[in-house]
Structure 1
Amino acid sequence: MTQLHPIIERVTARIIDRSKDSRRRYLDLIEREAHSSTARSGLSCSNLAHGFAAAEGDKAAIASGRGPNLAIVTAYNDMLSAHQPYARYPEAMKLYAREVGATAQVAGGVPAMCDGVTQGQAGMELSLFSRDAIAIGTAIAMSHAMFDGMALLGICDKIVPGLVIGALRFGHLPALFVPSGPMPSGIANKDKQKVRQLYAEGKASRAELLDSESKSYHSPGTCTFYGTANSNQMMMEMMGLHIPGAAFVPPGTPLRSALTRAAVHRLAEIGRDSADYRPMGLVVDEKAIVNACVGLLATGGSTNHAIHLPAMARAAGVQLDWQDLDELSSAVPLIARVYPNGAGDVNHFHAAGGIGYVVRELLDAGLAHADVLTVAAGGMRAYADEPWLDGEALAVRPAPAQSGDDAMLRPVAQPFLGDGGMRLVQGNLGRATFKTSAVDAERWTIEAPARVFDSQEAVQAAFKAGELDRDVVVVVRFQGPRANGMPELHKLTPPLGVLQDRGFKVALVTDGRMSGASGKIPAAIHVTPEALGGGALALLQDGDLVRLCANIGSLEVLADLSTRTPAAPPRLEMGTGRELFAVLRHHADGAERGGSAMLAEAGL
């Protein structure tokens, strides 16, 4: 048996110790729920009759309780390319359930935003808190006490974390995520990025930009860059919540259908009345959270998960912070480069060996926990295999022993970088995340005068006016959860990239978000405390010398802030439903705790 790396062991032990009280409260909760009268057997005849009134063909089975009844919680809509394939899933899943003596019902739907549509728009200010709405929607779906397991249909940015958080409150039941897979690869990523920068410089028309983007995002399936959505899929594998190898199989293929069928069959096998009970609350424990962190670091995944992982962990009674991520990063090498950190997308990554290759490398190097409960019978080692079709039957085989593309995927012994590339930077400006894996090492230290803005639109205006053509640390504040819902600041990437390409030393410091879709600019993001309510960013002024250094983990302003008065936040705009989220903004906690009002108010 491979010995666990001492840093992985130490950080895991610290998380377990820190979480002992909250984890015990959580385990007590799901134990009570497992034996409460709110199970289907405890429903009155009137309750039960309402529950199966429309279950054509399944009424007798649900009424008699002779097999498990599975909840389908779906984030389907046909505007999100990743979720469009889910339209027909419930119909098929009901058939698959009947094959093993089970039944399935759509328990409810949850909202599903597309950050690709809302980025740079007012709707992005709803994005982070849509995670809370999704968690609440999941709880509403599961509140009917009709179900013996949860099939969770969601893929994209806030949707998977929201489903995890909501489902964990019903952690006495087994749960499986059922993905739909990525769209085919489109225009080369370097060509897409080039057109974006040309447009930012006024050298490409809107028609040319739209043509380029349409060739990138062009069909049903998940967007193929390695942003938050595809990082979600990797983490569901690392947390043992997928059928092994399900993450990146394309939609509409026989193998994808076979994996969905296997997910339903497996969910029916692992309920509380079975001999192989695998409740979600026991699958998602401290070691599973560490495995998710390790997978994120090893593959250069989205920085959004510096917010989502602590929130998901809290829902299971596990306390995770950025120091944990930073220390894990020091031990976990970067073994994958997927766009925007490399040239190829997730389809190329999957073809080169994919998740199975990554899992095997991490387990063999003692960088991930093998001794964990997963939905798969073989534990975490099962995720080092890849699925394939033997005729019409689903089969598995070991992931490739060698990478199919060493420009994208490498063994632990020959990594791209010696660490996982997600570092904690801290100092008198607060604590923040710096994604070193996306930035050339010579740019990890930037010291330059600050230019302070309260919106990304103001940054764009200054760029177009030529005011940023110099060495500069661009500070964008009042972008945290309490200020405006912590939108992603994607409008900043092209102009800052242009400035850097012109030879200037440029960095970004913000209490807002940038995801795995962000690019090559050194950035201290998610700064906490945020500017609204006491953060030092509210004290900064134009010209203050700011030093950002990922090498030593520092985020400092070389000025005396003690006599300054905080700047007033900008007036909040109404419209696009933003006013409906005011209570969530008001009660949100800090980014390092997950930026959630719901978890904060629940005392989790």
Structure 2
Amino acid sequence: MHPRVQEVTERLIERSRKTRERYLAMMAAAASEGPQRARLPCANFAHGVAGCGVADDKQRLRLMNEVNVAIVSAYNDMLSAHQPYEHFPNVIKEALREVGSVGQFAGGVPAMCDGVTQGEPGMEMSLASREVIAMSTVVALSHNMFDAALMLGICDKIVPGLMIGALRFGYLPTVFVPGGPMPSGIPNKEKAEVRQRFAEGKATREELLDSEMKSYHSPGTCTFYGTANTNQVVMEIMGLHLPGASFVNPYTPMRDALTREAALQVTRLTSQTGNYLPLCRIVDEKSIVNSVVALNATGGSTNHTLHIPAFARAAGIQLTWEDMADLSAVTPTLAKVYPNGSADVNHFHAAGGVGFMVRTLLDAGLLHEDVNTVMGHGLRRYTQEPCLEDGRLVWREGATHSLDENILRPADRPFSPEGGLRVLDGNLGRGVTKISAVAPEHRVVEAPARVFADQAELAEAFKAGELERDFIAVVRFQGPKANGMPELHKLTPFLGVLQDRGFKVALVTDGRMSGASGKVPAAIHVSPEAIDGGPLARVRDGDIIRVDGETGELFIRVDAAEWAARELAPPPSDRGIGYGRELFAFMRNAFSPAEKGASAFTEALEELE
């Protein structure tokens, strides 16, 4: 193992020792004493099987040596990524019946699309939806009927929410089942150019809409490398997908074959087979480290600086931003996928994909090989790729070299020697930045502040011609407690235009940028957040701020006495009328700081531990 990876792993194990031991003890007790349908009273059991559409399923469920698999799905047909899940339950149930097992659709979880809600008040429910998904997963699994579980989800908050909920039932064997990306549309570079021309007033709304619909054009996950596709890489390298399953397109024979095999594989991990391997024994400190290495090696979404710590804590593991940044410092960037490059995830998959990444990172000593996966022990199995031979699913050895080094490279010839994720710290607070798509000449910005209450204010200032200069945009009151921490993706075209015009620009915010954030330097997730009296609430227009992505500095140059005497700015008025935002007030009040995952569950889990 690389010494830095080993060092981070060891300190993570030591820091988490008490909480991890407590979690595993809870899981062991639940496995031996907890929910089992054999212990249900007769009336309860009858309720649990009354809805079975096939008579044989009822009889099988009366036999306690048969496996009952819970299906938890984020299906809806408004989201392109989740629309293919419509037919997955039937595929799964048929596969399970063939081996004498049963599948029951245990419950659905909500799935909202950040792409639809970007810049709209509905986006303020996005991060909170992760907690709702976790709770919905727990409700789905609460019926004491199941021996294993399949999690059907892909996008931004859905997979982390499913993870948090499933880990509280970590004594169940669990496989995550992806749906796959849509086929490639227009090139990402072309899409980005039209967006930027529209921001400058050089393209019409009709041209913009035509471009966007040619990009997001069919069922399947969006093909840029944002949070949804980072989820897929993270799940596969953690050993929670079948090998090679992440980026197979929906509505193909291979996709259906992988779905069937996921159903069969989870039955092989149950106690009935004698090869019991629950989720809690797959998600451990080493697999969490592997997930962070995968994030950094691909230049993945900064949203995972929230999500990985959040679901790690659900397994009793206390991951910090320092851990993530220290791993980033020694993890080479191996992939260039939009917004970090021009290729999309289909091109990444064709060039060698996750299987090649696992191979080269294992060979470089940057991934733990001695981990449990849904395929058994050892991550080396994930260098293989699936194929169909006479309609039968088999695995063969995957790519031993990249088929396109403009997209994917080996660890000894990376695009960058580091992953690009860094912690920023200073008298303005503490946050993170991702520099993998930021040109070296743009990584350090020192300029006057221009303060905004939201991204709409910045857009108005841009259109009024007020931003034709060097400045640092401070967009505050965007943290989890203030308004649910919506993504600020709509800032990217405006700031990108100004940077291209030769101005030094950067962003500082207690909010978050999209997983598709790119070339403009940004200090994000800054905490304490403004509504908690954090330093951003004291910033005024004209204050000199330094954002240094090289040294990790985040400073404001204001006389200490003047700074201490300043009053805190009041939060803006609520603009979310008509969206039900008020129902989430209790959750916003409970959100932890960003470094602890911006989670409503942190305090409850800490009390339990």
TM-score (norm 1): 0.98
* AA matched with 2:374: V
Q: Any residues of structure 2 matched to 1:55-454 within 5 Å, and which?
A: 55-57=52-54, 58-377=57-376, 379-454=378-453
Deviation at 1:64, TM superposition (A): 2.1
**Count of aligned residue pairs for this structure pair:** 601
3-state secondary structure, aligned to 1:597: coil
Q: Is residue 2:13 matched to residue 1:13?
A: no
Provide the rounded CA distance (Å) in 1 between the counterparts of 2:603 and 2:354. 34
3-state secondary structure, aligned to 2:88: helix
3-state secondary structure, aligned to 2:376: coil
Q: Is residue 2:569 matched to residue 1:570?
A: no
Deviation sequence 1:121-176 (CA, Å, 0-9, x none): 11000000000000000000000010000100000000000000000000000100
Deviation sequence 1:194-236 (CA, Å, 0-9, x none): 1101111111111111000000000000000000000000010
8 Å CA contact 2:123, 2:487 repeated in 1:
yes
Aligned to 1:583: 586
* AA matched with 2:600: A
Q: Any residues of structure 2 matched to 1:526-545 within 5 Å, and which?
A: 526-545=525-544
* AA matched with 2:9: T
Provide the rounded CA distance (Å) in 2 between the counterparts of 1:532 and 1:222. 35
Provide the rounded CA distance (Å) in 2 between the counterparts of 1:527 and 1:315. 23
3-state secondary structure, aligned to 1:348: helix
* AA matched with 1:66: N
Q: Is residue 2:601 matched to residue 1:598?
A: yes
Provide the rounded CA distance (Å) in 2 between the counterparts of 1:499 and 1:284. 43
8 Å CA contact 1:423, 1:433 repeated in 2:
yes
Q: Is residue 2:27 matched to residue 1:30?
A: yes
8 Å CA contact 1:272, 1:279 repeated in 2:
no
Provide the rounded CA distance (Å) in 2 between the counterparts of 1:79 and 1:382. 35
Deviation at 1:377, TM superposition (A): 2.8
* AA matched with 1:157: D
* AA matched with 2:271: R
Aligned to 2:51: 54
Provide the rounded CA distance (Å) in 2 between the counterparts of 1:158 and 1:151. 17
3-state secondary structure, aligned to 1:518: coil
Deviation sequence 1:517-560 (CA, Å, 0-9, x none): 11210001111111111210001111110001111111111113
3-state secondary structure, aligned to 1:111: coil
Provide the rounded CA distance (Å) in 2 between the counterparts of 1:293 and 1:555. 23
Q: Any residues of structure 2 matched to 1:502-521 within 5 Å, and which?
A: 502-521=501-520
* AA matched with 2:594: A
8 Å CA contact 2:68, 2:104 repeated in 1:
yes
8 Å CA contact 1:100, 1:268 repeated in 2:
no
Provide the rounded CA distance (Å) in 2 between the counterparts of 1:378 and 1:326. 28
Provide the rounded CA distance (Å) in 2 between the counterparts of 1:277 and 1:592. 34
Provide the rounded CA distance (Å) in 1 between the counterparts of 2:279 and 2:582. 35
3-state secondary structure, aligned to 2:503: coil
* AA matched with 1:170: F
Gaps of 5+ in 2: none
8 Å CA contact 1:587, 1:601 repeated in 2:
no
* AA matched with 2:173: P
Deviation at 1:467, TM superposition (A): 1.0
8 Å CA contact 1:199, 1:205 repeated in 2:
yes
Deviation at 1:280, TM superposition (A): 0.2
Provide the rounded CA distance (Å) in 2 between the counterparts of 1:37 and 1:149. 14
8 Å CA contact 2:66, 2:272 repeated in 1:
no
Deviation at 1:378, TM superposition (A): 5.1
* AA matched with 2:11: R
Deviation at 1:38, TM superposition (A): 2.4
Return 515-524 or 500-509, whichever deviates more.
515-524
Provide the rounded CA distance (Å) in 2 between the counterparts of 1:178 and 1:599. 27
* AA matched with 2:72: V
Deviation at 1:66, TM superposition (A): 3.3
Return 532-541 or 209-218, whichever deviates more.
532-541
Q: Any residues of structure 2 matched to 1:485-500 within 5 Å, and which?
A: 485-500=484-499
Return 594-603 or 387-396, whichever deviates more.
594-603
Provide the rounded CA distance (Å) in 1 between the counterparts of 2:90 and 2:394. 24
Deviation at 1:602, TM superposition (A): 3.8
Provide the rounded CA distance (Å) in 2 between the counterparts of 1:83 and 1:37. 32
* AA matched with 2:543: D
8 Å CA contact 2:596, 2:602 repeated in 1:
no
Deviation at 1:379, TM superposition (A): 2.3
Deviation at 1:101, TM superposition (A): 1.6
8 Å CA contact 1:173, 1:272 repeated in 2:
no
Deviation at 1:564, TM superposition (A): 1.3
Deviation at 1:37, TM superposition (A): 4.3
Provide the rounded CA distance (Å) in 2 between the counterparts of 1:175 and 1:562. 52
* AA matched with 2:349: H
Deviation sequence 1:79-98 (CA, Å, 0-9, x none): 11010000011111101001
Provide the rounded CA distance (Å) in 2 between the counterparts of 1:290 and 1:238. 10
Gaps of 5+ in 1: none
Provide the rounded CA distance (Å) in 2 between the counterparts of 1:237 and 1:453. 39
Deviation at 1:587, TM superposition (A): 1.2
Provide the rounded CA distance (Å) in 2 between the counterparts of 1:28 and 1:378. 22
* AA matched with 1:120: G
Provide the rounded CA distance (Å) in 2 between the counterparts of 1:55 and 1:523. 52
Provide the rounded CA distance (Å) in 2 between the counterparts of 1:375 and 1:261. 14
* AA matched with 2:322: Q
Deviation sequence 1:257-304 (CA, Å, 0-9, x none): 111111011001101232211100110011110000000000111000
Provide the rounded CA distance (Å) in 2 between the counterparts of 1:358 and 1:384. 8
Provide the rounded CA distance (Å) in 2 between the counterparts of 1:299 and 1:37. 40
* AA matched with 2:12: I
Provide the rounded CA distance (Å) in 2 between the counterparts of 1:49 and 1:133. 29
Return 477-486 or 273-282, whichever deviates more.
273-282
* AA matched with 1:601: A
Q: Percent identity?
A: 58
3-state secondary structure, aligned to 1:555: strand
8 Å CA contact 1:283, 1:372 repeated in 2:
yes
What is the aligned-residue RMSD (CA, Å)? 0.9
Aligned to 1:546: 545
